[in-house]
């Protein structure tokens, strides 16, 4: 992990050699773990003999452990300003890490400069592992984490993710299929979708699920494609769909924020929800219960996603095997909008 | 700053003593700053002589610099899940820190266990300074930061804050007064307030501003007091006010989220906004432009608050004096709800 040593500071290796024990045994003593009293006596003598500095910071450097785990938000504008789930994911992850006495440190990547500096931070031993939200396969951080083999778990997965990096998420495709199917089952004939964030796995998978449910009835003209999961884009996407198909009677919006914007555009156009148009969202975020009418949507178990991601990283740090992918349940929730 | 040293690892002090220069001169060499070539030669010889380890991590330990600044959210549930400004404050702070090559690390404090671990993290040299959002004077972290003299700046200020810790914020009292005055100027007679978070400076100051504007017309019966800046509490607070005073024709809600909830309760009760009741909020958050009608409110310059807080911390880290308090402009924005 480290480059050639330039100087004479005593290391855990020196202590282990002088005491005639393994490096792991020395680390257990330094970290307060159990060892035999003979081994402990030998190690304490060796520490004094070689001049090893057994303070917390130095021992962390020596064993390359920081007791910290990074939480990386790769799309800060949409995540921190718009995403209703990021806070709950962070709190879920923090709860698990805290119980394991690990400090969660959230790192924002908002520029190339940030990307490079965070890359150095991750490589520099300041964290033992990382949880990465909203990664895309071409992100330099994704490549870096694979290269330096940092214990890491993704929330969601880039479509062509290095399979060695585990992820936690939901079945976006299946849930999108289920919520669209319900629009069909309730008799809607001309159903469109406001697709968002197609460069992310979640956005692409939700469109795939919509296509699967629509089958032969899928009409590419009835897909409006917007860049972000955002209220304002929901307004724009809905206006575009209504221009293309005035007889539209069902809409799947790729997120609740998008659905809230769509609701506004439908209201502008004098279309009643659910009487004239059935509308469904995705996320079960705070938006869903605050629109009029409340949104039928897909429930995202955000806190559980955070917990599972943290557990996965901790297991990797401890050298234990982990599930390559964990998909949590994301059931459809029926309210008034469809 | 550090306790008695137990062992023999060479320090910057040893290098300075061997080279016959000050510790500051040694630090300048280690950090790539300017020193005379004679001093540089002497210091490089001394480094070799005493066996000082001039790698990045060790030099950071020695000079107690991490090039990292903590961003502490002290009320994660209400901040991360409800507060519309926290993301913009983080991005503003990160932009300034990034340009100065400092890593911003956000730390969540969600339990006593978190509080203790974060306290150790702050004391342990992992950050050079901290930005603290939503502190209260009795928070152990507030006391700790004062004790260890960590360069720190608060966003907002606890009422009885140690005056040695600078803060950045807005004039909550003056802005609350201004927004209430406008309700009076537009002819509202029976004006109530949904006050929130009175244990925070912002909540207490907004109530003070309301009282000041109302003067003799202030009626304590027309203040509903709720614990958090939250939509659901806005619904409850509004219902309580309508029970007490059916003739209410003006409401100041302590935040836009609270105002959005109040709007829902007014709609339930068959009261039109602004025709029957004028309603104003506070924050100019994403809520304000998404309610029907859009909210008249007070604009919080969240990104600028983050920038100023980061600049203040960087100046303290560099040993420069800072303004003990910075109040940014927070103008009233008039839309349709009053």
pLDDT digits (tens, 9 = 90+) for B32-85: 556 777 887 888 788 878 877 654 444 444 445 789 999 998 877 766 776 768
Burial B151-162 (b: 16+ CB within 10 A, else e): bbbbbbbbeebe
pLDDT grade for A91, boundaries at 50, 70 and 90: very high
CA distance A223 to A193: 5
Optimal mutation site among A5, A11, A98, interface B, most CBs of chain B within 10 A: A98
Listed in sequence order, the DSSP H helices in chain A are 12-19, 23-30, 37-50, 56-63, 76-82, 86-99, 112-123, 140-148, 172-185, 201-214, 231-244, 256-268, 302-317
Number of C-beta neighbours around residue B312 at 10 A: 26
Q: Under a CB-based contact definition with an 8 Å cutoff, are residues A94 and B114 in contact?
A: yes
Cα distances from A329 to residues A84, A280, B81, B193, in angstroms, run 18, 18, 22, 42
From B66, which residue of chain A is nearest by alpha-carbon distance? A126
- Of the candidates A256, A206, A30, A98, which has an alpha carbon nearest to the alpha carbon of residue B114? A98
A12-63 and A68-169+303-327 share one CATH topology?
no
From A3, which residue of chain B is nearest by alpha-carbon distance? B55
Range A68-169+303-327 has CATH code 2.40.50.140? no
Q: Do B57 and A88 touch (CB under 8 A)?
A: no
Q: Number of A:B CB contacts under 8 A?
A: 140
Q: Do A77 and B94 touch (CB under 8 A)?
A: no
Residue with the larger pLDDT of the pair B110 and A4? B110
Question: How high does pLDDT run on average in chain A?
Answer: 87
Name the one residue in this structure whose structure tokens are 């955002």: A230
Query: Which tokens belong to A32?
Result: 């307060």
Q: Do A110 and B117 touch (CB under 8 A)?
A: no
Number of C-beta neighbours around residue A318 at 10 A: 10
Write out chain A residues lying below 8 Å of B3, CB-based: none
**Is 60 exceeded by the pLDDT of residue A3?**
no
Quick one: what percent of chain B has pLDDT higher than 90? Answer: 58
From B293, which residue of chain A is nearest by alpha-carbon distance? A264
Q: Do A80 and B90 touch (CB under 8 A)?
A: yes
Number of C-beta neighbours around residue B225 at 10 A: 16
Strands A250-253 and A191-196: what pairing? parallel
Q: Do B117 and A95 touch (CB under 8 A)?
A: no
Selecting from 1.10.10, 1.20.120, 1.10.260, 1.25.60, what CATH number does the domain B12-63 have? Answer: 1.10.260
Domain map (residue ranges) of chain B: 12-63, 68-169+303-326, 172-298
Selecting from 3.40.50.720, 1.10.10.10, 3.90.1420.10, 3.40.50.2300, what CATH number does the domain B68-169+303-326 have? Answer: 3.40.50.2300
CA distance A151 to A135: 15
Query: Which tokens belong to A292?
Result: 């009029």
Q: Give phi and psi for B84, each to the nearest 5.
A: -80, -10
Burial B19-32 (b: 16+ CB within 10 A, else e): bebebebbbbbbee
Of B6, B98, B267, the CB nearest to A111: B98
Secondary structure (3-state) at B49? helix
Strands A332-333 and A68-73: what pairing? unpaired
**Is 60 exceeded by the pLDDT of residue A59?**
no
CA distance A202 to A44: 53
Selecting from 3.70.10.10, 3.40.50.720, 3.40.50.2300, 3.40.250.10, what CATH number does the domain A172-298 have? Answer: 3.40.50.2300
| Of the ranges A211-220, A288-297, B55-64, the best mean pLDDT one | A211-220
**Is 50 exceeded by the pLDDT of residue B242?**
yes
Region A47-76 average pLDDT: 70
Lowest mean pLDDT, pick from A26-40, A103-117, B112-126, B280-294: A26-40
Q: Give how far the C-alpha of residue B215 lies from the chain's centroid of Cα atoms, to the nearest Å.
A: 30
Q: Do A56 and B111 touch (CB under 8 A)?
A: no
């Amino acid at each position: 992990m480290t480059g050639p040593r330039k100087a004479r500071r005593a290391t855990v290796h020196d202590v282990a050699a002088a005491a005639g024990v393994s490096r792991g045994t020395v680390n257990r003593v330094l970290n307060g773990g159990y060892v035999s009293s003979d081994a402990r006596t030998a190690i304490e003598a060796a520490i004094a003999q070689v001049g090893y500095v057994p303070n917390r910071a130095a021992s962390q450097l020596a064993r390359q452990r920081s007791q910290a785990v990074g939480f990386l938000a790769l799309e800060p504008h949409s995540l921190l300003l718009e995403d209703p789930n990021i806070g709950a994911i962070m709190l879920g992850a923090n709860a698990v890490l805290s119980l394991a006495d690990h400090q969660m440190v959230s790192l924002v990547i908002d520029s190339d400069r940030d990307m490079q500096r965070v890359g150095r931070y991750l490589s520099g031993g300041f964290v033992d592992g990382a949880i990465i939200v909203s990664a895309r396969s071409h992100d330099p951080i994704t490549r870096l984490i694979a290269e330096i083999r940092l214990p890491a778990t993704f929330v969601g997965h880039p479509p062509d993710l290095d399979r060695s990096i585990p992820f936690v998420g939901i079945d976006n495709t299946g849930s999108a299929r289920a919520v669209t199917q319900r629009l069909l089952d309730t008799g809607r004939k001309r159903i469109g979708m406001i697709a968002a964030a197609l460069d992310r796995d979640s956005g692409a998978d939700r469109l795939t699920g919509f296509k699967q449910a629509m089958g032969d009835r899928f009409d590419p003209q009835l897909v409006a494609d917007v860049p972000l999961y955002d209220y304002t884009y929901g307004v724009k996407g809905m206006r575009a769909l209504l221009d293309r198909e005035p007889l539209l009677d069902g809409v799947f919006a790729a997120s609740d924020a998008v659905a809230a914007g769509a609701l506004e555009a439908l209201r502008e156009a004098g279309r009643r929800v659910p009487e004239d148009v059935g509308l469904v969202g995705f996320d079960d975020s705070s938006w869903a219960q605050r629109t009029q009418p409340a949104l039928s949507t897909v429930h995202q178990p955000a806190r559980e996603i955070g917990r599972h991601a943290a557990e996965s990283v901790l297991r990797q740090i401890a050298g234990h095997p982990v599930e390559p992918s964990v998909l949590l349940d994301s059931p459809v929730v029926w309210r008034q909008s469809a």
